[in-house]
A and B are shown apart, each in its own frame.
Chain A
Amino acid sequence: MLRDKKPFHFIKLRKIWYVISILVIVPGIISLFSQGLNRGIDFRGGSLLDLKFNQPTAVEQVRGVLADFGLEGASIQRSGETDFIIRTKELAEDENLAVLQALDQKLGGVAVQRNERVGPVIGQELIRKALLALGVASVLMVVYIAWRFEFKQGIAAIIAILHDILVIIGIFSIFQIEVDSTFVAAVLTIIGYSINDTIVIFDRIRENMLYRKKGEALEDVINNSLWQTLARSINTGMTVIFVLVALFLMGGATIHNMVLALLIGVSSGAYSSIFNASPLWYDFKKMEERGRLKGAKA
């Protein structure tokens, strides 16, 4: 059994895990500062037309019609021969109608699959609400963990969560995948998922601390706990990933990016709960100990 052999020591190798995390996060942060995120209309404000033409249609034809309305700068995305997603600046209702009528008449009939219009105020509100939600959720979780476990574990768990958020946002920035309001939901869900994972491990540490033998080092208690919960961590991660992969491959295009964010987040969450949260807590404990020693000397 792997858990009995313990091929490596989770805590002794923790510097390696930290380096891996940093290697994944840093490019994302650089990208975030240099090219930012590909913000969808939910954040920027604008209009989106998801159209199905009756006949095979070329991007140039669509752009030609849009040019009549001064919308040649619109982003036109074609999938299949007849399906188009067009993103423009915000269009008022009569403008929107005029564009749709022109496309319908000049290009041989069109069905509107989706039509979205978001004012710039809404986008700002979304960002504000998302950050507020993130802050409130983090505080509540630290409070809960501090109550059920200990404050330092709460902080370690929140750092692991920040890690996951940075991984998701970083990857979305590097590949310039569009972010919309469902992305916010995905990130918040990952917070819930990742902390769930971390708590199960902390629970085992809490239990093992009760049965800690005299002279047993803290790093060994944590290491044992991690190995004991490893099968569960992997199996749960896998079952969730099964569902998400199915949704990613077979689910509709509308939730594609949301599911992608969840997939990245679940993988990152599984990693951070094992390789970041507990080792970080160990480091915090060490700092506390050193502080106490210093205090005792002085």
Chain B
Amino acid sequence: MKWDKLLKLAGIIVIVAVIAVLAVKPVFPDVKWLPFAKLIKQGLDLQGGVHVVLEAQDTPESPVTSDRVKQAMAIIENRVNAYGVAEPIVQQQGDRRIIVELAGINDPDEAVRNMIKTAYLEFKTEDGTTVLTGRQLKTATEGTDQSGVAEVNLEFEPDGAKIFAEVTKANVGKPIYILLDNQVIQAPNVQTPIPDGKARISPYASLDEAHNVAILLRSGALPVKLEVMEKRTVGPTLGADSLDKSIKAGIAGLAVILVFMVLYYRLPGLVADFALVVYALLMLLIFAALHVTMTLPGIAGFLLSLGMAVDANVIIFERFREELWAGKTLRSGIDAGFKRAFVAIFDSNVTTLIAAAVLYYFGTGPIKGFAVTLSIGILVSMFTAITVTRYLLHLVAGSNLVRNVKMYGA
């Protein structure tokens, strides 16, 4: 026995075990970044949300221009921000497409409908002339009146307020039509002239409904018609369910691999198992640090990479066994095995990386997530197989803890 090496080995095992516990268990509830597995961003398919691709359409009144698309993006951003979800994504794709992603939203379909609403507000007099539009509107907020009925309060810009004062003065006793997207939503009779530019629209069934109308009015009219090209919404329960199921499946798959490796490769198998745990922890750390968004296909990619991480070890151990059969000692067998296995591992992983890179380049959304986790997995698995497994195997062999070559699979 070489106690110093044995001590080192025990130290490493303890450190990895501590990190593993910190990764998933909330040991220190006060430390914000622990457990770090919780820091990994979940994709829309896991936490629920909506991914929508909008395309600007030409209409006779407003053909698509790049300025209009940019404006529409800004307006959508405005509308989307009003939902208060964390990190909404509004992105332009190509010339006339806008991609919007909202995570953790309660009614994603409603959000999509609000996004594409033109929300064109007009005030018309009885004879049908438009006196004011949404452009002269300063703010719109929801509220309740004295009797608790939901309403939307409007405030006009100074020029709008002036016009509004004149119009109300000229139309006392007559209705003024308020139109949202060409639909009359209210036709209140003017009781007295309103000089301060403040108006109310009511009643609404709920404060939520008033809130939605207020958002639409506030964020203005879309300068161009938008059509939904693609929409994917996932309810929060389905997302949580998917996450739960894949974690369970992952643990089951991992458990079988761990058992198989020990049964087939004995002591090196145990070392590889340990390296696999290190691998999984490294992956979690990288996902958390690089803010990789975890999607359902991404989890599949991660689990698949577990299999590939094992593969690197399998290649090494098969070589190692051959060296032992050829009569080499443990230590020179380890080195020769690693050296000869490296080329095979390198070339085979590069080709897989090529496939993953192509997948990333051509894929969208969850597919990109899959390509990212697969690529990171390949790189990290090469690293752990070549450094961690090798170091540990040397430590185990050098500690003289187990000297029987049969235990090394020979």
Question: A residues bordering B, Cβ < 8 Å?
Answer: 50, 52, 92-94, 96-97, 100, 111-119, 121-122, 129-130, 132-133, 136-137, 140-141, 144-145, 148-149, 181-182, 184-185, 188-189, 191-193, 195-197, 199-200, 202-204, 207, 228-229, 231-232, 235-236, 238-240, 242-247, 249-252, 254-255, 258-259, 262
What are 9 contact pairs spanning A and B, CB under 8 A? A113-B238, A182-B367, A199-B344, A199-B351, A240-B311, A243-B307, A247-B246, A247-B249, A255-B300
Query: Interface SS of chain A: helix, strand, loop or mixed?
Result: helix
A204 to B233, CA, bound (A): 48
Contacting B344 at CB < 8 Å: which of A100, A203, A244, A249? A203
Question: B residues bordering A, Cβ < 8 Å?
Answer: 45, 53, 108-109, 112-113, 116, 228-235, 237-238, 241-242, 245-246, 248-250, 252-254, 256-257, 260-261, 264, 296-297, 300-301, 303-304, 306-308, 310-311, 314-315, 318, 322, 340, 343-344, 347-356, 358-359, 361-364, 366-367, 370-371, 374
Which residues from A are CB-within-8-Å of B248? 250
Which residues from A are CB-within-8-Å of B235? 111-114
Residue of A nearest to B116 (CB): A93
Q: Is the CB of B347 within 8 A of A115?
A: no
A250 to B245, CA, bound (A): 6
A122 to B343, CA, bound (A): 41
Number of A-B contacts (CB under 8 A): 222
| Given A115-B231, A141-B355, 17 new contacts (CB under 8 A) | A97-B113, A111-B235, A112-B109, A113-B235, A122-B53, A144-B354, A184-B363, A196-B352, A200-B348, A236-B314, A239-B311, A239-B314, A240-B311, A242-B253, A243-B304, A247-B253, A255-B300
A89 to B311, CA, bound (A): 45
Q: Chain A nearest CB: distance from B29 CB in Å?
A: 30
Residue of B nearest to A250 (CB): B249
A211 to B297, CA, bound (A): 44
Residue of B nearest to A241 (CB): B307
Which residues from B are CB-within-8-Å of A238? 260
Which residues from B are CB-within-8-Å of A145? 351
Q: Is the CB of A144 within 8 A of B229?
A: no
Known contacts A133-B362, A236-B310; A115/B367 CB under 8 A? no
Known contacts A93-B112, A117-B231, A246-B253; A196/B296 CB under 8 A? no
Which residues from A are CB-within-8-Å of B311? 196, 232, 236, 239-240
A127 to B238, CA, bound (A): 28
Q: Is the CB of A252 within 8 A of B307?
A: no
Q: Is the CB of A254 within 8 A of B296?
A: yes
Which residues from B are CB-within-8-Å of A130? 362
Q: Chain B nearest CB: distance from A6 CB in Å?
A: 15
Residue of B nearest to A1 (CB): B325
Contacting B351 at CB < 8 Å: which of A118, A196, A243, A254? A196
Known contacts A113-B238, A196-B348; A246/B354 CB under 8 A? no
Known contacts A137-B354, A231-B318, A251-B246; A188/B359 CB under 8 A? yes
Q: Is the CB of A251 within 8 A of B257?
A: no
Known contacts A112-B109, A204-B344; A182/B237 CB under 8 A? no
Q: Is the CB of B300 within 8 A of A199?
A: no
Residue of A nearest to B364 (CB): A181
A142 to B230, CA, bound (A): 35
A26 to B63, CA, bound (A): 51
Q: Is the CB of A189 within 8 A of B374?
A: yes
Q: Is the CB of A137 within 8 A of B315?
A: no
A251 to B343, CA, bound (A): 35
Q: Chain B nearest CB: distance from A42 CB in Å?
A: 9
Q: What 5 A-B pairs are tightest by C-beta distance, nearest first?
A: A192-B355, A240-B307, A246-B253, A243-B253, A250-B249
A262 to B234, CA, bound (A): 24
Residue of A nearest to B358 (CB): A137
Contacting B347 at CB < 8 Å: which of A93, A203, A251, A258? A203
Q: Is the CB of B256 within 8 A of A111?
A: no
A137 to B358, CA, bound (A): 6
Q: Is the CB of A196 within 8 A of B308?
A: yes
